[in-house]
Amino acid sequence: MKLKSIAVFCGSSSGNDPIFSAAAIEIGQTFAAQNIQTIYGAGNIGLMGILADAALAAGGKVLGVIPDFLKKKEVCHTGLTELIVTKTMHERKQIMAERSDGFLILPGGFGTLDEFFEILTWRQLRLHKKPIGLLDIGGYYQHLLAHVQLMFQKGLLKEANMALFEVADNLPELLEKMSKAQNLSEEKWL
């Protein structure tokens, strides 16, 4: 499956580990080189801004989707290929989901986890069949992955649903896994 556009969920802060910023730059450059449109939350700060700047500098196309209230706080990137302003956060995520062929999750905080789990739940419920990739840079998501395993062990998550997202610690491997991802979900209530 050729991924022509990927929504990236990531932090509005850069964090305190330079490998996060390096990964955002690599993603932006790689997407541009592979003619993959970057779709993201339109911020000009943190990993979001680094990602967009890297993609644009490499000649890539970048779509930003931002709620009006965040745009008014002057955190909106003004040099994007395309900008969509929404009324709500939910509308933002819906547009990002509709316009993308897959989802890539970088390190981030509460907002990134919210986006990851919402899009993952949508896949579990078969609202979409698009691949989801978790980039585990420097082991950032190891505690989260351990908790997902605990959910399975405690009988709160079906084993098949643990395969609803791909995990890798490097971008080439993750993109390869995402391009080969299958819809492996079981019916949630059966």
Q: Using one digit for the tens of pLDDT, what is the confidence trace for 41-54?
A: 999 999 999 999 99
| Phi and psi angles of residue 69, each rounded to the nearest 5 degrees, phi first | -65, -30
Q: What is the pLDDT of residue 183?
A: 52
pTM as predicted: 0.93
Query: pLDDT digits over 63-74, tens only?
Result: 999 999 999 887
Query: pLDDT digits over 96-154, tens only?
Result: 999 999 999 999 999 999 999 999 999 999 999 999 999 999 999 999 999 999 999 99
User: What residue ranges define each of the domains in the chain, with the CATH number in brackets?
Assistant: 5-178 (3.40.50.450)
Tokens describing residue 63: 């779509």
Q: In which residue are the tokens 């490998």 written?
A: 19
